[in-house]
Structure 1
Amino acid sequence: MDAGENEIRLEKPATALRRGWTTGACATAATKAALTALLTGEFPDPVQITLPKGEIPSFALARETLGGDHAMAGIVKDAGDDPDVTHGALVMATVRRLPAGSGIVFKAGAGVGTVTKAGLPVPVGEPAINPVPRQMMTQVVTDLCTESGIAPDIEIEIAIENGAELALKTWNPRLGIVGGLSVLGTTGIVHPFSCAAWIHSIHRGIDVARAEGLKHVLGATGSTSEKTAQEFHDLPDIACLDMGDFAGGLLKYLRAHPVPRLTIAGGFAKLTKLAQGALDLHSGRSQVDMGWLASQADALGGNHLRERILSANTALEVLEMTRLEGIDLPSVIAGKARAVALATLRGAPVEVDVMIMDRAGVLLAHAE
């Protein structure tokens, strides 16, 4: 998936998954088709491009327009089997000749965002078209103009149909990208359920927070815990980093790019896994150790619950049985999760507090 283009994390199917194409690859193919038509009068369909690692995919055109001074080509994005909100979106490139010496100019069309905050790989005020897609489009334009014997003085306007509405389902508003989606991708290929894409988005969130001078950021495992912690600390949206399951991705990046204070918030089960030392909290990659939980309860006088805890189906079941016995297990878990976070930060200048909430968002424990 493209970083920032997927909001809902679904369980990965057991069957083989089909790869797709990034928005950047679609925009590059559309740019090549449009400029070819502007220079020759004919749209190549399908149009082929070369991706950064040498693959040469073909893209069918879904829309084309040739005017006197411009040409437009549109390609429907196929994200393969990834749960990407931009799957099926129409990505359009309109190209125009510019006065001599103008060079290649990128413009945000309808549905493509504009960068308004520092810390992203594109300067403030520029269209939210990331460096690798820019390089791919620049290469395509340069090659075609060289073949035609003209200077590459071309405006490239990228638009995404319904992009402004789709962007509301992404992290773009928090990152300061307004008006639409980002044109992203580093290889041109969408790898379904890519952990790297999610972690990349966390990193960009930290970059933006640092550039904005924020002193306190929040990483939460889900929207309920995020809402409670955000209100508790009175944090702006931009401080919320969409950590999800990737506590390690968040902590390791903060180790090298520190922010003075970090709050980690989440439910009892997820933060139990962090307290055990797991840095990837996804249900498919780490599990709650009932024996470990039983030992924590033992230390609080709950040894009479050991067998029940060992036979429990879920961490929630353990939480409920210990609460009924007056055993404050969440406080212990919060403290141990904080210790794991601090150990992962390895002395980086980041203060950490951990908050555990129930499913209704009620605060159960707070380790500072």
Structure 2
Amino acid sequence: MTPRNLRHGYTTGSCAAAAVKGACQMLRDQGPVEEVQLTLPCGETARFRLQGGRIDEDSASCYVVKDAGDDPDVTHGAEIHAHVKIAFFTEHRLVIQGGTGIGRITKPGLAVPVGEWAINPVPRKMILEVIKEVFALRCVPATLTITVSIPNGEELAKKTLNERLGIVGGLSILGTTGIVKPISTKAWTDTLDAAVSVAVACGARQAILSTGRTSEMAAQRHLEQTLKPMAESFIMMGDHFGYAVRSCAQKGMEGVVVAGQFAKLVKIGCGHEQTHVSASTMDLSTVAGWLAETAGLEHLAEVAARANTARHLLEESGNDQKLVALVCEKAAAQVKRLAPELSATVLMVGYHGEALFYG
């Protein structure tokens, strides 16, 4: 659910795909394009105004000014540029690369391999789709090179955690749904209270609290055949774990299912009641301590100590089920710490939307 009265915006991935589509259309038609329409991964359509259009015989470029809505995003107002160049009668291939202000991946554990440009999988797929849409009928062998850039991206990246995560030289092109939903603590907590009240009023005795839409959809798939929960039971808590658990207890819920991916559940297990990056840190040294004290997991303590991200640890462990169960146990313990009267179950969701653990 999106907090009421806050305007949503669009991800850097959506803006990049829109700019690429515009540049491709200008190159194909050899004429200006002022606006393009995209179908976003979430299923919604959106229109993007193009600026700075330039056209040559074999190239075209334009940019989209990112509108993050009411979200306090450092990239709000940034220019997301796309340059498209075609070389005819060459090897038939498509190159998507970063330019000025786009970072490169230098550490493992992220969605993009080390050495690649920081253009995440969903935005890359969006870019591929718009290219195929625009050049659907082109049969002449050619090399098409797409360059995405953000002129002040390197400076903006200094205001993020990119360097710590191993994204060097600029920003990432991000997004999974195409939309940026605003983060407003008061709006979210008001909405959480209302959602829990509605669930209780509808007869729900167990709330299914998810950290995001991917986790919520996985919970819906996994629990449909077992718990058969009513729709009102599913509550998007976002980063507000502590508040959501307390609200459930105060309003008479008997238990909660916490659904989230590994990194969020690690933060919860470490005792963070607010899991947004601005309010919590990923303390993998704490996880290393857990592992060193757990029979059968001692060998992963060193991996946790040197891991770049929680995802890096999970992937290097091979999705070790003992590790997964341990993190879920720690997360469940935090529910009991905050609200001893609630039963606590944890659903860990994998990075491809699969259920890794439930219990």
Structure 2 residue 32 is matched with structure 1 residue 66: no
- Tell me by how many angstroms 1:60 deviates: 0.7
- Tell me by how many angstroms 1:101 deviates: 2.8
For the Cα contact (< 8 Å) 2:27–2:55, is it kept in 1?
yes
AA aligned opposite 1:45: E
Secondary structure of 2:62's aligned partner: strand
C-alpha distance after superposition, 1:46-98 (max 9, x if no partner): 11122234422111112222234321110001111112111111100111114
Alignment CA distance shift 1:171-1:226 (3 Å): closer
The separation in 2 between residues aligned to 1:218 and 1:165, in whole angstroms, is: 32
Unaligned ranges ≥5, structure 2:
189-210, 214-237, 240-259, 290-303, 311-318, 349-359
The separation in 1 between residues aligned to 2:111 and 2:26, in whole angstroms, is: 31
Unaligned ranges ≥5, structure 1:
1-11, 210-216, 242-253, 263-270, 279-288, 293-339, 347-368
- Tell me by how many angstroms 1:237 deviates: 9.2
Alignment CA distance shift 1:16-1:143 (3 Å): same
Alignment CA distance shift 1:49-1:20 (3 Å): same
The separation in 2 between residues aligned to 1:224 and 1:185, in whole angstroms, is: 21
The counterpart of 2:323, out of the listed 255, 258, 276, is 258
Please name the residue that 1:138 is paired with.
Answer: 128
Structure 2 residue 118 is matched with structure 1 residue 128: yes
Please name the residue that 1:16 is paired with.
Answer: 5
For the Cα contact (< 8 Å) 1:23–1:91, is it kept in 2?
yes
For the Cα contact (< 8 Å) 2:92–2:143, is it kept in 1?
yes
Secondary structure of 1:180's aligned partner: coil
**Aligned residue pairs, count:** 248
AA aligned opposite 1:277: R
Secondary structure of 1:33's aligned partner: helix
For the Cα contact (< 8 Å) 2:157–2:170, is it kept in 1?
yes
Structure 2 residue 64 is matched with structure 1 residue 75: yes
For the Cα contact (< 8 Å) 1:219–1:226, is it kept in 2?
no
- Tell me by how many angstroms 1:118 deviates: 2.4
AA aligned opposite 1:83: P
Please name the residue that 1:185 is paired with.
Answer: 175
The separation in 2 between residues aligned to 1:57 and 1:204, in whole angstroms, is: 32
The separation in 2 between residues aligned to 1:96 and 1:156, in whole angstroms, is: 7
AA aligned opposite 2:323: P
For the Cα contact (< 8 Å) 1:145–1:152, is it kept in 2?
no
TM-score, normalised relative to structure 2: 0.55
Alignment CA distance shift 1:256-1:110 (3 Å): farther
Please name the residue that 2:98 is paired with.
Answer: 108
The counterpart of 2:149, out of the listed 159, 165, 186, is 159
For the Cα contact (< 8 Å) 1:34–1:43, is it kept in 2?
no
For the Cα contact (< 8 Å) 1:226–1:240, is it kept in 2?
no
C-alpha distance after superposition, 1:222-260 (max 9, x if no partner): 9899699979x9x9896576xxxxxxxxxxxx9859399
Please name the residue that 2:18 is paired with.
Answer: 29
1:304-315 equivalences in 2 (<5 Å):
none
Secondary structure of 1:146's aligned partner: coil
Secondary structure of 1:107's aligned partner: strand
The counterpart of 2:212, out of the listed 180, 185, 196, is 196
Bigger-Rg structure (1/2): 1
For the Cα contact (< 8 Å) 2:92–2:141, is it kept in 1?
no
For the Cα contact (< 8 Å) 2:109–2:309, is it kept in 1?
no
Secondary structure of 1:106's aligned partner: strand
1:210-359 equivalences in 2 (<5 Å):
258=323, 274=334, 276-278=336-338
Alignment CA distance shift 1:229-1:181 (3 Å): closer
Please name the residue that 2:201 is paired with.
Answer: none
For the Cα contact (< 8 Å) 1:30–1:93, is it kept in 2?
yes
Please name the residue that 1:90 is paired with.
Answer: 79
- Tell me by how many angstroms 1:181 deviates: 1.0
- Tell me by how many angstroms 1:166 deviates: 1.6
For the Cα contact (< 8 Å) 1:61–1:74, is it kept in 2?
yes
